[in-house]
Chains A and B, each alone.
Chain A
Amino acid sequence: MLKILKYSFMDLMRSRWSYVYFFFYLVLGFVLFFLNSDVTKAVITLMNVIIVLTPLIGTIFGVMYFYSSREFTELLLAQPLKRRTIFAGQYLGVSLSLSMSLVIGVGIPFVLYGIFGSTAIWDFSTLMLVGAFLTFIFVALSFNIALAFKDKIKGFGFSILMWLFMAVIYDGLFLLSMMIFDDYPLDKLALGATLFNPIDLSRILILLKLDISALLGYTGAVFKNFFGTGLGLFLSLSLLSVWVIVPAALMLRQARSKDF
């Protein structure tokens, strides 16, 4: 598996888009510090970008890589390798290279502006961890979609729709239901709804860590009241891991019975 991982990783590392992605974060980081040299505030702004952007990039790269490496995959399938090895290797290759672009791209400006001497180091690390989690989650989800559809256009369409749903529509529906069922106690529902969306979950995790109640929002406040900060952090981290493991396992399962 490590060999497949290595080749997928190298393949992506020599692709132009990895650099575009890397430079985007690099520039974003420097711009943030140029506008405002407070590290904590930069972390919050960055959070809003990362929480929407990493899922989008993970989704698009995942689908794109899967379809464009189809020939490579077929070549590998004829070799004495397990299917699980091939797909797990490719999945990790894509996820790791994207996570690296993120961490290094954002990391350089933060290090230059003295993140190591600042108290925000843990907040920053949490943010990077969440960014990596979101990348792993959405690459796994998009691999699932790409495996299910032979047609590229359909695969792309559904992946973007999936991202849009998680990033935008889900919250909209949620708020709508809050308004409609205003008269009922909705705490439990709100909690449940958060667990089923990794983007919401990530947002709450970071805000719990930053301890900014004003930005927590309704679900975040409920979450904090229900679990407290310590348990809340632990729980949201474990749930994010579940969000990585379940789609990745489903992807491997789907790959096992697919015809090429």
Chain B
Amino acid sequence: MIEVRKLYKNYGPVEVLKGIDIVFNPGEITAILGPNGSGKTTLIKSILGMVIPNGGEILLDDNNVLGQWLYRDRISYVPQIANFPGNLKVNELIKMIRDIRPGARNHGRLIDILKLQPFLDKKLGALSGGTRQKVNLVLAFMFDAPLIILDEPTAGLDPVALILLKQLIASEKEKGKTILITTHIMNLVEEIADKVVFLLDGLIYFHGRVSELKEKTGEDNLEKAIAAILKDSYA
């Protein structure tokens, strides 16, 4: 379980997070939604300790994690843009991460599932965006961590890989893991998410089930519901 309390963050004069309070439960997939610049990635990076908040607390199983580092062993993270050191080969990168962070075991199976064998000896710089994203998924899912954070995991994936990704996420959920996902693809949200968090201007505009969001906005389609909120906020 991860709990965020009164989280504030500003970059210079720009306030990105203005007091976020939220709890993510185990066994639940929560989709973090919001327009560009609403603070989704900042929230995620704060949880990971890559961004240092100006105020507030983040608790992982009731332990404050701000300024800590060992807790990241309990997080699998798929970053937004899969950029890797270009002169490394795929299997060298996987080996390196396994060396730096012991405990990986699923990599062989994941490489099989995602059909990455033909690329193992290729340099990361020579891979297509979608293939790089698959490598990204292997790096995150090869660890058996109770918290999984996916930042735009679908970028560049073909339909087959997308189905595989959904299956992966579903099987992790069954193991009782806490899963956070940001995406702009509403179909995916409707299909897999249990709950939705909608961020707007650094505040939580909505937190609840997808059906509740639809009720609140009076729309029967999630995409339209989101559009309705955005129209209100721009107006």
Residues 74 to 99 of chain B near chain A (Cβ within 8 Å): 75, 77, 79, 83-85, 87-88, 96-97, 99
In the complex, which range does the number of interface residues on chain B fall in?
A: 20 to 34
Given contacts A11-B87, A14-B87, A15-B87, contact A77 B96 (CB under 8 A): no
Partner of A69, one of B51, B72, B73, B85: B85
Question: In the complex, what distance in Å separates the CA atom of A146 from the CA atom of B81?
Answer: 22
B50 and A260 contacting across the interface, CB-CB below 8 Å: yes
Chain B residue contacts of A151, Cβ below 8 A: none
In the complex, B45 has a CB within 8 A of chain A: yes
Alpha-carbon distance between A82 and B69 when the two chains are bound, in angstroms: 6
Q: How far is the CB of A78 from chain B (nearest CB, A)?
A: 4
Per-residue contact bits, chain B 42-72, to A (CB 8 Å; 1 contact, 0 not): 0001001111100000000000000001111
Asked if A79 and B52 sit within 8 Å, CB to CB, the answer is no
CA distance A44 to B139 in the complex (A): 52
Query: Which among A15, A79, A257 is the interface contact of B97 at CB below 8 angstroms?
Result: A79
Cα of A75 to Cα of B52 in the assembled complex, Å: 17
Contacts of A77 in B (CB 8 A): 48-50
Q: How large is the interface on A (under 10, 10 to 19, 20 to 34, 35 or more residues)?
A: 20 to 34
The verdict on A187 contacting chain B, using a C-beta distance below 8 Å, is no
A10 vs chain B, min Cβ distance (A): 9
Q: Are B96 and A7 in contact (CB under 8 A)?
A: yes
Query: Which of A14, A81, A260 makes the CB contact (< 8 A) with B51?
Result: A260
Residues from chain B with Cβ under 8 Å of A183 in the complex: none
Q: For the complex, give the distance between the alpha carbons of A69 and B139 in Å.
A: 18
Distance in angstroms between the alpha carbons of A31 and B157 in the assembled complex: 56
Interface flag for A74 (CB, 8 Å): yes
Question: Do residues B11 and A259 form an inter-chain contact, with CB atoms below 8 A?
Answer: yes
